[in-house]
Structure 1
Amino acid sequence: MSKKEIDPKRVTASGNGVDQGITGQMCMFQVINMANEVDNISTSINGPSQPTMMKGIDENGNAIVKYTPNLPGEYTVTVQYKGKHIKGSPFKVQILGESDPKLEMIKKIEVTG
């Protein structure tokens, strides 16, 4: 690793989006890396719902990631820098709140007649 390269374990993420959140409310986290290489940061989420993750850049050149979960439960948020997990990734994020009945999967269908 050259002097200019950053060790992925030195890249950090902070904010409620890598800790916990509430259904229907935006979760956000900031990814801080000394090289400000936002293009080399990839994110994904897996959980009861699959919210879209929106990525932007703050005034300091760090990545800002936002998502809005619609169902409660445990989500796994993965953050990688140059294809390798950053410090703490994957993050287990607990989403609290009520389920939106329109978004719950149908568990059983009974047809009569």
Structure 2
Amino acid sequence: MATVEAHGGGLTFGITGSKCRFTVYLEDFKEGAKIVDGLTVAIDGPSEPEIEFDHQDNGDIAVAWTPYAPGNYVLTLKFNGDQIKDSPFNIKVVGDVNTHGQYQAPKKQIYTGWAARRKSSQASQGKISE
């Protein structure tokens, strides 16, 4: 069986609404063979993430997953039914979530009164940029 390993930031940390990326490396592969059929990715956590696979020309498989709620996730990787090295991975995801479980972008800060006049004055003097 081929030696299979996975590496990347998406195996340790994530932010809601952002793609968490990692790569599955196969030591032995046949040039041009599509072997993603042997790869199983299971993610348990507070939300059901989207998962994308991208075959690289060198035989590696790039994986991106997008969580929609903060919390702790457990990602299990198997290749041809066998867990790969270091699997399962415990991943901490931070960020905001709305009532529908979808990512909610941070709200832009609104300035009023004295703060708005000061910000407007700084912007006209070229001291800040937005």
TM-score of the alignment, normalized to the shorter chain, above 0.5? yes
- Using the TM superposition, give the Cα deviation of residue 20 of structure 1 relative to its aligned residue in structure 2, in angstroms: 0.4
Match of 2:82 in 1: 84
- Using the TM superposition, give the Cα deviation of residue 51 of structure 1 relative to its aligned residue in structure 2, in angstroms: 0.8
Q: How many residues align?
A: 97
Give the alignment partner of residue 24 of structure 1, picking from 1, 5, 17. Answer: 17
Mark the structure with the bigger radius of gyration. Answer: 2
Match of 1:97 in 2: 95
Higher RCO (CA < 8 A, seq sep 6+): 1
- Using the TM superposition, give the Cα deviation of residue 43 of structure 1 relative to its aligned residue in structure 2, in angstroms: 0.8
**Percent identical across equivalent pairs?**
35
Q: State the TM-score, normalized to the length of structure 1.
A: 0.78
The 5-angstrom pairing of residues 1-113 of structure 1 reads: 5-6=1-2, 10-36=3-29, 37-103=35-101
Give the secondary structure class of the aligned counterpart of 2:10.
helix
Which ranges in structure 1 are unaligned for 5 or more consecutive residues?
A: 105-113
In the alignment, the residues of structure 1 paired with residue 56 and residue 98 of structure 2 have an alpha-carbon distance, to the nearest angstrom, of: 32
